[in-house]
Chains A and B, each alone.
Chain A
Amino acid sequence: MINTFAKPDQQGYYGEFGGAYIPEMLYGNVEELKKRYLEISSGQAFQKDFHQLLKDYVGRPTPLFLAERLSQLFGSKIYLKREDLCHTGAHKINNTIGQILLAIQLGKKRIIAETGAGQHGVATATVCALKGLECIVYMGEKDIQRQAPNVARMKMLGAKVVPATSGSKTLKDATNEAIRDWINNPNDTHYIIGSVVGPHPYPDMVARFQSVISEETRQQLSEKEGSPLPTRVIACVGGGSNAAGAFYHFLDEPSVEIVAVEAAGHGVNSGFSAATTQLGVPGILHGSKSIVMQTADGQVVEPHSISAGLDYPGIGPMHAHLFASGRGRFLSATDEEAMHWAFKLSALEGIIPALETAHAFAVLDRLGMKKDDINVVCLSGRGDKDLATYMNAMDEQ
């Protein structure tokens, strides 16, 4: 299969987006990864270890669950890909398992990561504990205050959580600090980026590790429906790692509609939004060319979303290309709509989703779903981490 939408070219470009816009201080590390990630990750021993851990440690394959009451509500068949059942509570660990095995092969002793809500930080701290590697997680000072339980989990797992105190003190700044750490520690350190962002080869590497989601979906649909192809796949997008994984093996199947849901915050035009494709223009952020929310003179702006995991002013270059080429349909959901659907899904299916994930459900009524359609929603994470927000919402009602 020629995988034109899923894979970048040699220089890491998806259409006009991607590449590696990095200072020379990062060249050695990024070049080493670029030269070796495919060779290492496609090796037999690596694949065996990777799939063994996904099975026995993460709990894969995750179920593809037919949500009957939700299907009834919309008069169309809706399946949920249960990434919320992964160990640590979200899809993030698919990538950290892959990258920790890669880091070990590269002979690295020290792992750094950035985190927003803390899910990627927890997933990184988890695999570092599993493999006995030193772990440093950069987290915005504001996010540390907002996400206390995940900070505690990381610490319990043995990670050092370093507050990012520069700029707006959120995910963007945590990413800057992690990149600076990597610049200052060029030899012994591997940087586990948590999304399909960053300089090439990160977007491709992370998408490949996450592609297990759509690989399983195809197989499960074949068993349940007699065909591997759904009518559409729906996923929320911040940087876009769960979406990249959920879309990956469907991107070059023209019959499958690809639906990406961004966080509109208070509303796309409210000034408090994270709907990058609606509000951004082509630019460079964190080492790759993509669509970036910025001022007219090129300063990156602070986005807003109720969900820390979607609160990012950029989007992975693969998604920028899906948007620009028209291959993907990009919609957005507000804070309020996401909150509404977090409660609705809980009541309808007995599944409390993460706030990020809830965005994906908020657009279902806009898709024009038909009776015979087969829809797959990537249920990227569970809602435990958002319980404080949900409790506040219940108090207000």
Chain B
Amino acid sequence: MGRLHELFARKNRDVLNVYITAGFPKMDSTITVMEALQSSGADLIELGMPYSDPLADGPVIQESSLQALANGMTIEKLFEQLKGFRNKIDVPVVLMGYMNPVLQFGFEKFCETAASVGVDGLILPDLPAFEFESHYGEIIQKNGLDFIFLVTPETSEERVRKLDALSSGFLYAVSSSSTTGKEKDFNAVVNYLKRLEGYGLKNPILVGFGIKDRETFEAVTPYAAGAIIGSAFIKAVSEGEDPVKTTIAFVKNVLNK
């Protein structure tokens, strides 16, 4: 049984997933920030693989990606950093990124290496269901990795059910059709989450895009298994002096610890 499955079997409310770009703010801060996320109470870590053209991300995460690339981060170097990280970090870790760098690394080799270093799942927003079903899904599953699809308020019920069936680990509910880092209307988000809840899906739902602090986290978590914070955390880290201290303060504040 995978770490994601264990997490949600144990805890199906108030799960906090925090996104951090690998190699940001410093090349060697990847693991220390992940440790700080775990020690301060994050349940799950979404580790971003920086890409030059991240279409689904807003300006804050794009800037962090460019910084990480300028720091010299590559998929190969990330896997080197992740070697042995399971000695220090127990929480589930999913890699988030875009197809092009993964294809250049070699899709199969990528999945094998990710699984061997202890990564639990993948989020590749520009890998569509059709390509997943016809080719890539088999490779992902063969390596024991979970794959998480995104759904939006515009996704039809039929398609939500299909993407839920193809996903494992959790389903990523984008709070509104938008890139990351935009302000949201939370009444609409709550209605959307209630609708998803009513479908009785097989996967737990984590809601992302627009979750930025304790208030917004608490606004959505009654209606989902948990939430994902990305841009707001990246912004805090880029403004803070010490990434570890900033991380701990940020997560504790969200969790009201």
Contact = CB atoms under 8 A, between A and B. Distances in A.
Interface residues of B, number: 41
Given A21-B131, A294-B104, A297-B76, A172 B53 contact: yes
B80 to A, nearest CB: 13
Nearest to A292: B100
Contact of A284 (B59, B100, B182): B100
Interface string B58-94: 1100110010010000111000000000000000000
Given A184-B179, A297-B75, A25 B174 contact: yes
A23 B150 contact: yes
A106 interface: no
B131 A281 contact: no
Most B CB contacts (10 A, CB to CB) among A24, A166, A299 go to: A24
Interface in A184-215: 184, 186-187
B154 interface: yes
B100 A11 contact: no
Contact of A281 (B51, B58, B104): B104
Contacts of A284: 98-100, 103, 126
Nearest to B182: A184
Interface residues of A, number: 34
A299 to B, nearest CB: 4
A298 B155 contact: no
B55 A23 contact: yes
A299 B179 contact: no
Contacts of A172: 53
B234 interface: no
Contacts of A296: 104
Given A19-B131, A28-B154, A297 B74 contact: yes
Most B CB contacts (10 A, CB to CB) among A11, A22, A27, A176 go to: A27
Contacts of A33: none
B157 to A, nearest CB: 13
Contact of B105 (A167, A179, A282, A297): A297
Interface of A: 11, 19-25, 27-28, 166-167, 172, 176, 179-180, 183-184, 186-187, 281-287, 292, 294, 296-300
Interface of B: 51-53, 55-56, 58-59, 62-63, 66, 69, 74-76, 98-105, 125-128, 130-131, 149-152, 154-155, 159, 163, 174, 177-179, 182
Nearest 8 A/B pairs, CB to CB: A298-B101, A298-B104, A23-B125, A297-B74, A23-B56, A24-B150, A186-B177, A299-B52
26 contacts: A11-B130, A20-B128, A21-B99, A23-B126, A24-B149, A24-B163, A25-B56, A25-B150, A27-B159, A28-B152, A28-B155, A166-B63, A167-B52, A167-B62, A176-B53, A183-B178, A184-B177, A186-B177, A282-B103, A283-B104, A284-B98, A284-B126, A285-B53, A287-B126, A297-B75, A299-B51
